[in-house]
Amino acid sequence: MLMDSDLLPIYKKALNNDPEAILKFGEILQTGKGIVNDDAKAAEWYEKLLSFRKKIDFVDYALLYYWGAIAAWNRQDNKTALKRLKKSYVLFLEKYPDEAELEEQLQAHNFYSWYGYMAVNKDFNK
């Protein structure tokens, strides 16, 4: 994986399961700053945070479950993908009680597109 040398310390910390570094490296992959943009790999890094047993204060779990759903979908674990997408939606509902703001956030993250894509896929329920 080619990346700017200044990203190496973050990458090494992420490899050692530092939650902040994992989140940061996922964001770097998602934005493509200093490295080639790779949403699928970013989703994998975000998914790692779901394995931590304790709640991490700086993590937006609505988005984390959303990206975890995409990571599961990318490896064809459709059951986990749907479970995480539903969890993400519940967390979005809790975080944004105002209907207009909720709708804005769901649209901003292409939530409906992913849900629709997963739901209409003929192999989704396998």
| 53-108: pLDDT as tens digits | 677 887 888 988 998 888 888 888 888 888 999 999 999 999 999 999 999 999 98
Specify the pLDDT at position 96. 93
Among 79, 50, 70, CA closest to 114: 70
Q: 35-44, 82-91, 113-122 — which is least confidently predicted?
A: 113-122
- Domain-wise residue ranges, the chain: 1-55, 60-126
Residue 126 has pLDDT above 60, yes or no: no
Who contacts 119 (Cβ-Cβ below 8 Å, separation ≥6)? none
Specify the pLDDT at position 10. 96
Residue 123 has pLDDT above 70, yes or no: no
Average pLDDT over residues 24-40: 90
Specify the pLDDT at position 117. 77
d(CA 81, CA 65): 9
Torsion of CA 78, 82, 83, 84, to 10 degrees: 100
Instruction: Check: CB of residue 19 under 8 Å from CB of residue 49.
Output: yes
Instruction: Check: CB of residue 83 under 8 Å from CB of residue 91.
Output: no
Average pLDDT over residues 25-38: 90
Mean pLDDT taken over the chain: 87
Half-sphere exposure (CA, 13 Å, Cβ side) for 59? 28
**pLDDT bucket at 24, cuts 50 / 70 / 90:** very high
Specify the pLDDT at position 112. 85
